[in-house]
């Protein structure tokens, strides 16, 4: 148990450092992309910060499999270079103790990945898209207001009126309807949304004759009908585990892709340690692992976006194929070493 705990603590520290490093690299890449949107005035700085934060769970999901390979390589290499592997053998243990320690570590990482992939990532993707949609609507509203005439019938009316804008609507390209005021309350359910504005104005502008009608109100009720959108119509990457199961006929590929992503963690832990222990001094070992990793996730991703009805079955066949590779390598290393 002491050796298992020692190996577990060592690889846990290395895994954490590797994940943080990879997250930082991908984080910087996403940040550069979002800064470009700020430079052209598409989004604000506050919105950019929120978007970057919401992308962190998805980045973690992407880097976990890579971190597995790197952390196992560094850990096994460290154990080998410091003669700790020889010390473990001298205590009467064989390399199976390393497999066991890494298997426990993989189960721990797999548990965290399940929570992240099945619930946290879909929620962050949903809010990410919602923020972009709201920002797009605000940009459209602002475009309308910027093109709105500042002087109508020799009366400058927009200096003191267009404050606390709640909504800007276009009706059949014939008139604008702008509602201003402070929000008193919002009531919503799956079908309807009721917003109560207080102490505001409604500004009606006719595009045909360029006439303006302004009405004041103490309370104004805005009633919206929400189209009945089930989560079946949401993008698959915004659905959590329960929603994917309920819509499995539509989102089979996404559900089984996430299953394979989670189960690939112990797969690559074992694959990495088998190859590296048997071929620790050669660059061929790590090259083989990376090649197998790249092939696995490229094929999985292609099957994920494929429209073939049995794509999810091919995902599992690929997983079983890799599992057989591990069993075969384990058998060969036991025979050769």
Please tell me the predicted confidence (pLDDT) of residue 33: 79
Q: Are residues 123 and 7 in the same domain?
A: yes
Q: Are residues 254 and 318 in the same domain?
A: yes
Which residues are paired to 196 by β-bridges?
A: 185, 221
**Overall domain count for the chain:** 2
The domain of 161 spans: 152-229
Q: Are residues 103 and 204 in the same domain?
A: no
pTM confidence score? 0.76
Q: Are residues 317 and 271 in the same domain?
A: yes
Please tell me the predicted confidence (pLDDT) of residue 156: 43
Q: pLDDT digit string (tens) for 203-233? A: 887 877 777 888 888 888 888 766 545 554 6
- Helix (H), strand (E) at residue 122: helix 121-146
Q: Are residues 262 and 202 in the same domain?
A: no
- Helix (H), strand (E) at residue 237: none
Q: Are residues 196 and 247 in the same domain?
A: no
Please tell me the predicted confidence (pLDDT) of residue 228: 46
In this structure, are residues 59 and 34 in contact, taking their beta carbons and an 8 Å threshold?
no
Asked whether residue 146 is assigned to any structural domain, the reply reads: no
Whose CA is closest to 264, among 319, 208, 184, 183?
A: 319
**131-160 burial by CB neighbour count: b if 16+ within 10 A, else e?**
eeeebeeeeebeeeeeebeeeeeeeebbee
Residues of the chain whose pLDDT is less than 50?
Answer: 153-160, 228, 232
Q: Are residues 225 and 245 in the same domain?
A: no
In this structure, are residues 65 and 268 in contact, taking their beta carbons and an 8 Å threshold?
yes
């Amino acid at each position: 148990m002491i050796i298992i705990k020692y190996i577990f603590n060592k690889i846990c520290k290395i895994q954490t450092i590797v994940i943080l490093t990879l997250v930082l690299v991908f984080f910087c890449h996403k940040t550069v992309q979002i800064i470009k949107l700020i430079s052209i005035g598409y989004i604000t700085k506050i919105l950019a910060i929120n978007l970057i934060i919401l992308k962190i769970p998805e980045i973690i999901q992407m880097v976990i499999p890579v971190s597995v390979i790197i952390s196992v390589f560094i850990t096994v290499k460290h154990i080998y270079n410091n003669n700790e592997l020889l010390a473990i053998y001298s205590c009467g243990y064989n390399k199976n103790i390393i497999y066991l320690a890494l298997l426990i570590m993989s189960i721990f990482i797999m548990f965290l990945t399940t929570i992240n992939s099945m619930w946290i990532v879909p929620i962050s993707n949903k809010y990410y898209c919602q923020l972009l949609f709201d920002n797009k609507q605000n940009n459209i509203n602002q475009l309308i207001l910027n093109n709105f005439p500042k002087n109508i019938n020799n009366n400058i009316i927009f200096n003191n009126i267009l404050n606390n804008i709640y909504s800007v609507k276009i009706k059949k390209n014939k008139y604008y309807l702008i509602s201003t005021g402070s929000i008193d309350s919002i009531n919503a359910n799956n079908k309807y949304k009721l917003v109560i504005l207080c102490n505001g104005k409604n500004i009606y502008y006719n595009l045909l004759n360029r006439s303006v009608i302004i009405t004041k109100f103490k309370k104004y009720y805005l009633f919206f009908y929400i189209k009945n959108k089930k989560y079946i119509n949401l993008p698959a990457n915004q659905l959590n585990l329960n929603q994917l199961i309920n819509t499995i006929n539509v989102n089979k590929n996404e559900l089984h892709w996430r299953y394979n992503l989670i189960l690939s963690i112990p797969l690559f832990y074992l694959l990495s340690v088998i190859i590296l222990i048997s071929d620790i001094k050669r660059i061929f070992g790590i090259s083989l692992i990376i090649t197998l990793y790249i092939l696995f996730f490229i094929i999985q991703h292609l099957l994920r976006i494929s429209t073939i009805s049995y794509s999810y079955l091919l995902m599992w066949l690929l997983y079983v194929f890799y599992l057989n590779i591990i069993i075969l390598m384990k058998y060969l290393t036991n025979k050769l070493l």
